[in-house]
Amino acid sequence: MTREFNVVIEKNEDGYFIASVPSLRGCHTQAKSLDTLMKRIQEAIELCSEEALS
């Protein structure tokens, strides 16, 4: 089953990209590049959605 989540991406004053998923409490990550950020947020979504279902 494929689920979709909205991801909010911002860039902070230190140059890091920050991603968060508003519908999953505590689901966020950061990275220096967008490529790395996308991989990390996918992992975070997997972990957070598993926790939300249990």
pLDDT in tens, 10-37: 999 999 999 999 999 999 999 999 999 9
Segments making up each domain of the chain, as ranges: 8-53
Distance CA 54, CA 49 (A): 9
pLDDT class of 50 with cuts at 50, 70, 90: confident
37 burial (CB, 10 Å; 0-12 / 13-18 / 19+) is buried
CATH fold group of domain 8-53: Double Stranded RNA Binding Domain (3.30.160)
Residue 47 has pLDDT above 80, yes or no: yes
